[in-house]
Structure 1
Amino acid sequence: MSDRSESMRQSKAYKRLYDVIHTNEEPLHDRLENALEIGVEHFGVDVGYITQLDPEKDHLEIIVSTNSETQPSLKGLSDTLSNTFCQRTIENEAVFAFPDVSTVGLENHPATQKYGVHCYHGAPIVVDGEPYGTVCFAAQAARETAFTEQEKSFSHLIASIVGYEFEQQDYESKLSTREEELQKHAEINRALTDINFNVTFRTDRSGQITYTSSSAEELIGYTKRELEGTFVGSLYAEEYGSIDVQGMLDRALSGETVEEWDFPIEKRNGEICYVDFRGAPIYDTTVTVEDRSTTDIIGVQGIIRDATDRRRRQGFMSVIHRVLRHNLRNDVGVIRGYSDMLEQTVANDADARLALDRIQTAADRLLDISETAQNLQRNVKTATSLKETRLKPILNRVVTEVQSEYPAATINLNTPVNVVVYTSPRIETALKELIENAAKHSGESPTVPISIEKGHESTTIFVSDDGPGLPESEKTVLERGNETPLVHGTGLGLWMAYWAITNLDGSLSVSTTTNGTTIGVQLPTGPQ
């Protein structure tokens, strides 16, 4: 063929290639297949195909292929890179072509033996500066003439066009994904508007948790991995409330923003905490605000806030109210009744003296309750600054004071010298109440051993006695702070101990045996 004829043939092929690639009405796959067909015709081979490289697995897969009656599509075919001639193309980073395997000594190559390829023409595809795959043309019969430089340029052009199209496709895909993410975050932020809570989470329409903030672990003890995939209602402590969790979810999925205060949740350690909850629907971000309906809701955005401090304050006020209403009301009634009686008696009358004694007893009780209530109010606060504090000096002072008030009691203090905890001076009042309670109510000559068990994260102070044990109502006060139907003056000090210790990031435990009762006070361990 003359140079002029070859030049015209090349020009015609280039024009056809340009027209095919720039026909944007066609899907990319169809345009690439048409480009390959132009190459098959131009090179006089059987098939053209585009491969994608998987470097980690050393594999190639054909993702686009020509298709004819004599040569079916090779799309989907994959093999190790070393079994193909594409390996040379990718390693050389240049066009690799030969008219016959015998001219390059590849008669025994796996591609020849396995697929019967005798003529091959391949160009590397590069996407974002990295090897992506190859554009290949092959035939089972050898070609009579070698591939010219113009033909190699033509295949290189096709590979460059393919690389550019894939880059654009990847860019558009990432851009679309990014836009969806931005819209998703915007929708979530919309659901979070004017909400400033501790923990955020999301559920799908079935109520399965799909996301939770890391702060959830600090509040309830479960990790993100443990929470995600579980039903949101599984954390609800049913024995402490009567809330229709599924009903709340259904309302949110119908477009409402739902709220619930003092929502009981069971922590991982079995403790119950109360939270404030708010949930808002999350809409499909591909649907515009104007076109949204409840069918476009894909889940619920939930936010919770720890309500422990508020419930403690409410519990405190409830106790004070009940004590004042019950104890003071009854005792003041006694005072009034006997005062009326005194008005009808003579000063030297024996009944008058007896009535006067009873008035004094009732007044003493009122004074005792009043003082304890003042201690409770003074020692229970909503916020406390915890500091490094040595326990031994505190316990020494408390033991000395209680021992002087109850000389019949034997108080044994067994504690290491250097035990430091994070607490505040308020702990002294709480410890005195517990030690005094053991010395006062454990018989005529009680023994009260006190010991300390130091741990890496927490330190426990054990106060034991050999008495009959705490009544169940007072044990409940120390363990949970639960309010009993009637709180008498004798139990108010235990309330004070509970609220003071729990407000200092501490906790209490009670164990009773035939030998007596042991109260454990757990406080955060400080530096030793």
Structure 2
Amino acid sequence: MARSESLGLLLDQAQDKIALLSEDGTFTYVNAAAERILGFEPDELVGENAFEFVHPDDVDDVRGTFDRAVRKNSFAEETAAYRHRCSDGDWVWLESRMSNLTDDPLDGYVVSSRDVTDRVRAEREREETAARLEEIAAVASDVLWMFDADWSELLFVNPAYEEIFGGSIEDVRGDPDAFLDAIHPEDRPAVVDAMGCLSAGNSVEMEYRVNPEAEYKRWVWVQAEPITRDGEVVRIAGFARDITDRRRRERQLVVMDNLLRHNLRNDLNVVLGKADIIEETLPEASEHTAIIRRVGKQLLQTAEKERNVIDLLTEQPGRERIEFHGTVAESVESVREHHPDCTIEVDGLEPAVVRGRPELGLAVIELLENAVQHADGEPWVRVSLRRVGAHAELTVADDHAPIPAIEADVLTGDHDMTNVYHSSGLGFWLVYWAVELSNGHVAVHSGDDGNHITVSVPLDREP
């Protein structure tokens, strides 16, 4: 077998398309890989000009790359990526290495090409995804940011930083610690501690004041996560949301709450005191003074519930692990103690650990108290707790008249805010918010046999 035939057989085993081109770009040899990659038999290409198969948008660049290799006197190798036409008219991306090695045995310029269509497509998709993400980040109202693991380099931050923090992005790029200057001096130590926690691999959630231009009166809520690789923190990413308006509303709620409770308690104590005096002076008015005392005490209880609701809505303790079966058992005993004539049947309390707001205990007591207080005769309530799928389901059942639709809508979240003043009080609102802020929900079923209120709260997924 001749040496050239042996070389041809060897080249036909190669995975890459290997071709020899004359100085004007004509194929003088093509190996068998051309059929696998392009669908052309080698003989179909030999004698044809290679540039006739290159995509019109790429041909000038490819020809220029080839010409550079041809013009050099010493050995040179050039690389180009381009679209090549297939036998079916479709296009594939090739990456070709072109060399000017033209010794006698080869008699041509060597071009080795491999199919990189999948790689190019993946790169294009990544570029398009990155471009979309940058567009989203550019218009996002939250500050999106990323630092390296030791906070020595700012890797990314969107334009919202300058609006919310009042600092320059370029300043932070030049000195990553510069973003601390935008944080209220009293809050900086806590932020520095949080940075250390993140570098150590822990998540962080916090609130602090920013923007010296606004006299640090802007508040942000920050959530951040360490990004790890092989167990090591490599980057830290997070976002900051402007919560200035929320904090302002919370302060207003607290102020109004303090004024309302203080004035209401003082005035009601005066009213209740006067009722006692009237009853002592006019015993025949005892029926009326009893009504005054009952309504006054109800208003005081409403004020206390209002306090619990304000705390629930303004404080941000987050969700915690709660042994819900223990909470339910304690709530049952508390209501039994305050209402000894009430019958509360416990129809099984399955062990259930949930992740929710601590006010869930108040919600359970409120549901039990409501059932007791609205009984037509001797109060009777049945309580059960079951694990159902990924949730714990608490059911409070009674044999009373159906709960009014407007009250049931408060519990389920289907309430019409224009009708809020028609509901009987704050108790069901406390239940709704405690459950809703625990990522749970409430269902109400009422009929001739009474009411069934089911509270569903996610089970804690930690072992």
Instruction: Give the TM-score, by structure 1 length.
Output: 0.42
Larger radius of gyration: 1
Instruction: Give the TM-score, by structure 2 length.
Output: 0.47
